[in-house]
Structure 1
Amino acid sequence: MNKKPKLINILSERLRPSLVDVERKYLESCELGDEDFVRNLLNSGRVSPDLEDTQGRTALDLAIASGHVSLVEFLVGKVGPKVIHQGLLCAVENDREEICQILLENSIYQSPLQSKDNANEYSSIEGITNPNSDKMSEIFEDDLSARSKLTQVSEISVNKMLKEALIKAAIRNNFQIVQMIMMKGASVDIPHDYFCSCHECIEEQRRDYMVFCNRRLDTFRALASPAYISLTEEDPVMASFYLSKKFKQLQVMETEYKSTYEELDAQVQEFTLDLLNQCRTSGEVQSLLDSPETEKSSSDSFPILQVALRMEQKRFVSHPKCQAQVSAVWFSGLKGMRHLNRFEFLLLSIPVGMLLLPILSLVFILAPWSKVTLLLNTPSTRFLSYTCSYISFLCLIVLGKIQFSNMWVSLGCEETNPVSYVFIVIIFMWIIGWIWEEMKQLFDQGAADYFRSVWNVIDFLMLTFLLTSFTLDAVIPLRLRSALAYHQLNYNVSAGKEITINQLLFCYEVEEGKSYFSVEHQCPTATVGVEWTPTWVPDPELIADIMFSAGIILSIARISFIMPANETFGTMLVSFRRTFGDLVKLLAMFVLILLSFSCGLAALYAAHVCQTPHFQGFSGVFFVLIWSLLGFGEGNTPELNQSAPMSSITNNPSRIALTEWFGKAIYGVYVFAASVVLMNLLIAVMSNTFQEVQDERDIEWKFARTELWMTFIEPGCPVAPPFNIIPTAQTICKAWRKIWSLCVCCRKRKLKINKKSKKLDEEMTISSSYTNSRQSVICALIQRYIVHASREKMEGDEDASEDRIRRLIELTGSRLEKRLDEITGHVQHVDDHVSHVDKGERDIQQLQREEMKRTDLLLKAQDEYKEILLKKWEEWQRFREQRLQEVKSMREQRERLLQQRMFEEARRLEEAISDTLEEANYIPRTTLR
C-alpha cells in the first residue's frame, strides 16, 4: 500500500516540475528569437526571467545557443548573476564570440577595486562638507574595512569564474574567446606535482578525490590547448616540448588516465608540426629552430632541435622542413656528398678517406688559414674523417694486441725494435686523441646530457677498458724486467747447459734465430721462469686481457653509429634497440621463473647431490636451467644414479623413483613455461615492436639520422684523432696573443677593456634585434596558424551543427503549423473581396477598350495631317526651285548690264534678286523634319 506514494515521492524528487503553456512558449520564443513576444511576457510579469526547462537550460542559454544577439542583450539586464555566468559558459561551449564579449562586459566580471577607489573619494568629500566629519570618518572607516573584506572575497569569486570560463574556452581551442577572457586578467595555473603534500592539495583530495582529478585533467587540457599556448607563451615550441615531456611523465605515474595524457601529448606535438607547416621560407624555419637566448654568432646550431632530440620529439625532428634545414647545413659546401646517403658509396669512400684525410689533416695543422679548412670543417667531411679515423684505430689496436702481441713483451728486453716503440706510441696517441675528444664533448654538454646518450656511455667504457689494457701491457714487461734484474735465475736451456736469466725468457734466443716461441703455434717451448704466486691479488696480465676483450667488443659494436646514414640499416638499428628494450622488460619475469624453479629443484635434490651430476646445489640447478632455456638441456637431466650414495636421514631407496618423477614434472613445467610461453611471448613482443618501427620507419630513421648529424654539425675540431691533439699554427698564435696581452701596460689594458665593453654592447644590440626578429616570425606563424585553425574548425563544425539545425527546423515547423490556421482565416476573408475585385476589373477592361478606339481615331487623323503636310511641302519645294531659277536668270542679266555699263538698271535688278531670295527662303522646311 505504501509503495505507490513512495514511488511518487521519488519521481517528484528526481524529475523537474513540468512547464505551463506560457512558460513553454516563453522558452520556445527565446530559442526562436521572437524578441517582441519575450519582451511582452517579461514586462507583464507572467514568467520569471530565470526560468529553466526540464533539462536545466535557462532562457538565456537557449538564446545564446541559437545565436540571437539582440535578445541576449535584453535578457542580460533581466536575469541574475548566476544565470549570467551559466550563460557565459554556454556561450563558450557554443563558440559565440560576440555574445561572450557582451557577457564579459557585465558588472559581475568587473574588478571591485574601482568601486573601492570611488568609495574612498566619496568619503573624503563627505569629510570636508559635513560638519560632523569625525563621526562620518569613523563610520566610513568601518564601512571601508568591511568593503575591503568583501572586495577580497569578490575578487576571488571573479577570478574563479573567469578561470572556469578560460579553461572551457581553452579546451574548446577558441582563440577569440580565450583572448577576451585573458584580457580580464584571468590565467591558468599549473597544477601542483602529483606527489604534492601541501594543505590545499590534501584538503581537495580529502573533500572529493574525483573532483580533484577532473579539475586537474581539465587544467592540463587547457594548458595543452594551442590557443592558450599561442597567446601566453613567448616561445610556443619550447613550451610544447616541456608539456610533452610532462605528459610522458604523467603517463607513467597516473596510469588510470594514461590515454588522456597520450592524447594531450599528441595534441601539443601536432601543434608544433602545424607551426612548422606555416613556415614559408627557410629563414622562418631557421628562426623557429633558434633559441631566443642565442645569437646568430652562437656556437650552438639549432638549439631548439637539440632540445627536441633530448626530449624525443620524433615527429618534429623528422618534419620535412626541419630535415631540409638540417640537410642544407650537413651538405653545405659539398653538394656531392649527398651520394653518401647510399651505403655502398659510403663504404667506397672510407678507403679513399683513410688515405687522403691524414694528408689533409696535416695541411690543416700547418696552414689552418688555407682552403683545406673550408673542406675539412663541413659536417659531412667531419663525419667521413671521424669514420675513417675510427676504423683505422680499430685495425691498429686489433693488430697491436692480437697479431703483434710480442711487441708489448719486447718492451722488457734489453734490445727492443724501434718499430715497436713507434707502434705503441701511435696507439697511445690515438687513445689520448679519443679521450680528448670525449672530454671536450663532456665539457660542452655537461655530465647529465653526456651520459644520457648510450653512445657516449659506450665510448667512455670502451676508452677506459682499452687505456687500462694497453697501460698494463706496457707496464708489466717493464716491471718484470726491473724485478729480474735483482733476482738472478738459472735456467736449463739445453742438455746440461744452464744460463743466468736477467731478463724475460721471451727475449732470450736459445740457438741461431730461435726463441722460446715456436713459429708454427706461437707457443712457448719451455716454461717461463716467472710465476704469479699471490692468488688473492688479481693477475695484471689477466686484467689486461679481460679489459681488452670488453673494450674490443664495445669498439667494434660502436661502428654501428654510421648505420643511421642509410635508411635500411638505420631502421634495423632502431629496431634492434627497441627489441633489446623489450628483452630487458621481460627479463624480470625470466629471472622470477628461474629463481622459483631453481629453489624448488635444489630443495628437491638436496638429498641426492651425490646421485646427480646436474642438480648439485642452487648454483648448479640455476645454470642447468639457463642452458636448458637456450636449448642445451637434456631430457634425462632429472634422472638419478641409484648406485651412488644418498645423503638422507631416513635413507629410503624407494624415494628415488618418486624424486625422479616429481623432478621430471617440475622440469617439464619449467621448460613449458620458460621456453614455450615466455620465449614465444618475447618473440611476439619483439615482432610487435618491430612492426611499430616499420610502420613509422621514416620518422624513426630520420630521428636517428638527425642525432648522428647533429653531433657533427655542432662546432668542433675539423680533424679527427690522433691529429686533434697536435696544436695548430692558429692555436699557437692565439696562445702567444694571450701571453702578450698579459705583458701590456695598464693603459692599453684599459683601452682593450673599453673596446671589449663596446664590442659586448654591439653584441647585445645584435642579440636584442635578433630576438625581436625571431619574435616577429613567431607572431606571424601564430597568426597564420590561427587563421588556418579557424578555417578547419568551421569546416569541421558543419557536420556537428546538422543536429542543431534539424532541431531548430522542427521547432520552427511546429510554430508554423500554429500560424497556418490564422492564415487560413485571412485567406477566406480575402476570397470574399476577390469577387468585388473581378467586377471592378471588368469595368476597367471596358474603359480600356473605349480608350483604344479613341486612340485609333487619333492615329488616323495624325496620318492624314501628315499626308497634307507632305503635299504642302512638295508644292513649296517646287515654288522655291522656280524662284531660285528666276534668281539665276536675273543674275545672268545683271552681269550683262554691268558689262554694258548700265549701272542703274543693274542696281534695280539686284534689289529684285534679294526680294526673290527672301521669298524662296521663307518656306518652312523644318516643319516635318
Structure 2
Amino acid sequence: MVLQALEIVRIGILFPFFSIAYIVAPHSVIGQTMRKPFIKFICHSASYFTFLFMLILASQRQLFFDGSESDIVIQRGAEPSLVEWIILAYVSGLIWSEIKQLWDVGLEEYVRDMWNVIDFITNSLYVATVALRVVSYYETLQMQQAARNLARKDWDAWDPMLISEGLFSAANIFSSLKLVYIFSVNPHLGPLQVSLSRMVMDIMKFFFLYVLVLFAFSCGLNQLLWYYALAEKRKCKEEPSINDTNACTIWRRFSNLFETVQTLFWAVFGLIDLDSFDLNEIKIFTRFWGMLMFGTYSVINIVVLLNLLIAMMNHSYQLISERADTEWKFARSKLWISYFEEGGTVPPPFNIIPTPKSAWYVIQWVRRKFFGSRAAKKEHMRTIRVSC
C-alpha cells in the first residue's frame, strides 16, 4: 500500500516529464506509458493540483514581495506576474480541453454532465477576468502618471481591475470545487458526492421558493420604510458628532430594494436585529407594521421553509443512500471510461503545445476537406465504368 502511494506520488511529480516525452515521441516507451488510463488520470490530477497551487500563490502576494514591488503588483492595470502567466497557460489548456470534448460528444451530450456546465462557467469567469485586465491595462496607458498610481481607495467602484478581481475570486471557488469530481474515485468520499449531486434539485426547488418569499417581503418593507431610511441618512449628515456607531449605517438597511433584499437575506443568519426599525421620524404604527412584516417573514422563512428544506433533503438522502454504492460505482466507471478514450492524453497546460501528431491530423483534415470529395467522385466514376 505504501509502495503504491509512493509510486503514485512519483508519477504525479514527474507529470511534466511524461507530458513532454509524449509530445516529442508519442510512440516511445514513456509515450505509450502515458496513454495508460491510470497513468493518464494521475497526470491530469497532478496537473490540476498544480493549477490550484498556482491559484493559492497568486492570492498570497504579500509573502513574495516587499513593499515597493507589492505596490507595483496591485496598481491599476498592473502587468501579470510570473504566476499569473502560468495560470493563463493553464486556463488556455483547460479551455482547449473543453472545446475538444464539446467537439467530440456534441452540445446535447456535453450539457448533460453537471461538471461540464461548471467547467464552462469557470472558464468563462477566467476569460472575463483576462479581458478586464487587458482593458484596465490599456486604460492606464492612456492616463497620466498621477492617475495611474491612484490609491485603491480612490478608484471608481466599477473599475475594470476591481471587477476582474471579483470574477477571479469566484473562478477560484469553482476551480477548488472541482476537487469533488476528482475525489469521486475514493470509496469513502465518492458515495457522499453522488448523494450531494442528487440533492441539488431539492436545493434548487427550495431556492426558487425562497427567492419568491424574499422578493415579496423586500418589496413590502422597502415601500413602507424607504422614507424613514432617508430621514435617518439626513440625521447622520446633520449630526456628525453623534455617538451611535450604527447611526450612519442603519439607514442603508431599507434605503432601496436591493439593500432590503440583502437585509432580509442576512436576517436568516441572525445578523439583523430589531434596532434596524428604530429609524428617524418613524411613527409607532409604521414601526409596528414593519416589525410585524419582519416577524412574519422570519416565521415563514426560518421556521417553515428551512425545516421544509431539511425534510426534503432528508427524504432524498434516504432514497439515495439505499443505492448510493451502486450509483457511486456507476459514476466511477464513467470517470474511468473517459480516460480509456483516445485523445486528451496530455494534461494542461502542455496540451496547448502543437505536436507532430496534431499537425498530421490537421493535414489529414485539410486533405479530406478539400480533396476528399474529388477523390470520392473519381472512385465513383471508375466504379460506374467497371460495372458497365
TM bucket normalised to smaller: 0.7 to 0.9
Match of 1:696 in 2: 323
Whole-angstrom distance in 2 between the partners of 1:732 and 1:621: 58
The answer on 1:386 being equivalent to 2:6 is no
Match of 1:443 in 2: 103
Cα distance, 1:441 vs structure 2: 0.6
Match of 2:199 in 1: 579
Match of 1:83 in 2: none
Relative to structure 1, the CA distance from residue 568 to residue 576 in structure 2 (aligned partners, 3 Å threshold; closer, same or farther) is same
The answer on 1:353 being equivalent to 2:34 is no
Relative to structure 1, the CA distance from residue 479 to residue 627 in structure 2 (aligned partners, 3 Å threshold; closer, same or farther) is closer
Return 5+ residue gaps in structure 1 as ranges.
Answer: 1-338, 492-500, 506-526, 647-655, 759-929
Indicate conservation of the 8 Å contact 2:110/2:116, yes or no.
yes
Whole-angstrom distance in 1 between the partners of 2:338 and 2:34: 15
Match of 2:159 in 1: 539
Which one of 438, 447, 468 corresponds to residue 128 of structure 2?
A: 468
Which one of 682, 686, 711 corresponds to residue 309 of structure 2?
A: 682
Whole-angstrom distance in 1 between the partners of 2:102 and 2:93: 14
Please report the TM-score for the alignment, with normalisation by the length of structure 1: 0.34
The aligned amino acid for 1:580 is V
Match of 2:210 in 1: 590
The aligned amino acid for 1:626 is F
The aligned amino acid for 1:668 is G
Match of 2:241 in 1: none
Tell me the SS of whatever aligns to 1:359: helix
Tell me the SS of whatever aligns to 1:679: helix
The aligned amino acid for 2:163 is I
Aligned pair count? 353
Whole-angstrom distance in 2 between the partners of 1:367 and 1:598: 64
Indicate conservation of the 8 Å contact 2:21/2:30, yes or no.
yes
Match of 2:35 in 1: 377
Return 5+ residue gaps in structure 2 as ranges.
Answer: 233-249, 384-388
Indicate conservation of the 8 Å contact 1:465/1:550, yes or no.
yes
Which one of 333, 336, 346 corresponds to residue 706 of structure 1?
A: 333
The answer on 1:629 being equivalent to 2:275 is no
Cα distance, 1:616 vs structure 2: 4.5
Match of 1:715 in 2: 342
**Aligned positions of 1:645-656 closer than 5 A:** 645=281, 656=283
Cα distance, 1:585 vs structure 2: 0.6
Whole-angstrom distance in 2 between the partners of 1:409 and 1:359: 34
Relative to structure 1, the CA distance from residue 750 to residue 633 in structure 2 (aligned partners, 3 Å threshold; closer, same or farther) is closer
Percent identity (aligned): 30
The answer on 1:428 being equivalent to 2:67 is no
Whole-angstrom distance in 2 between the partners of 1:584 and 1:455: 16
Which one of 653, 657, 669 corresponds to residue 296 of structure 2?
A: 669
Whole-angstrom distance in 1 between the partners of 2:375 and 2:299: 83
Deviations 1:582-628 (A, max 9, x none): 12112233233333433444455466544784555544443332222
Please report the TM-score for the alignment, with normalisation by the length of structure 2: 0.74
Relative to structure 1, the CA distance from residue 585 to residue 433 in structure 2 (aligned partners, 3 Å threshold; closer, same or farther) is same
Q: Which structure ranks higher in relative contact order (CA pairs < 8 Å, sequence separation ≥ 6)?
A: 2
Indicate conservation of the 8 Å contact 1:606/1:616, yes or no.
yes
The aligned amino acid for 1:571 is P
Whole-angstrom distance in 2 between the partners of 1:658 and 1:740: 82
Cα distance, 1:727 vs structure 2: 3.0
Cα distance, 1:552 vs structure 2: 1.0
Please report the RMSD computed on the Cα atoms of aligned residues, expressed in angstroms: 4.3
Cα distance, 1:734 vs structure 2: 6.2
Relative to structure 1, the CA distance from residue 683 to residue 350 in structure 2 (aligned partners, 3 Å threshold; closer, same or farther) is farther
The aligned amino acid for 1:437 is S
Relative to structure 1, the CA distance from residue 557 to residue 346 in structure 2 (aligned partners, 3 Å threshold; closer, same or farther) is farther
Whole-angstrom distance in 1 between the partners of 2:331 and 2:98: 20
Whole-angstrom distance in 2 between the partners of 1:711 and 1:407: 43
Whole-angstrom distance in 2 between the partners of 1:735 and 1:681: 56
Question: Of the two, which has the highest radius of gyration?
Answer: 1
Indicate conservation of the 8 Å contact 1:389/1:721, yes or no.
yes
Indicate conservation of the 8 Å contact 1:571/1:697, yes or no.
yes
Cα distance, 1:381 vs structure 2: 1.7
Which one of 439, 442, 453 corresponds to residue 113 of structure 2?
A: 453
Tell me the SS of whatever aligns to 1:631: coil
The answer on 1:551 being equivalent to 2:171 is yes
Relative to structure 1, the CA distance from residue 677 to residue 478 in structure 2 (aligned partners, 3 Å threshold; closer, same or farther) is closer
The aligned amino acid for 1:449 is E
Match of 1:108 in 2: none
Indicate conservation of the 8 Å contact 2:11/2:39, yes or no.
no
Match of 2:245 in 1: none
Match of 1:206 in 2: none
The answer on 1:362 being equivalent to 2:1 is no
Cα distance, 1:472 vs structure 2: 4.2
Whole-angstrom distance in 2 between the partners of 1:608 and 1:571: 53
Deviations 1:778-812 (A, max 9, x none): xxxxxxxxxxxxxxxxxxxxxxxxxxxxxxxxxxx
The answer on 1:396 being equivalent to 2:54 is yes
Indicate conservation of the 8 Å contact 2:136/2:160, yes or no.
yes
**Aligned positions of 1:234-245 closer than 5 A:** none
**Aligned positions of 1:266-345 closer than 5 A:** none
The aligned amino acid for 1:671 is S
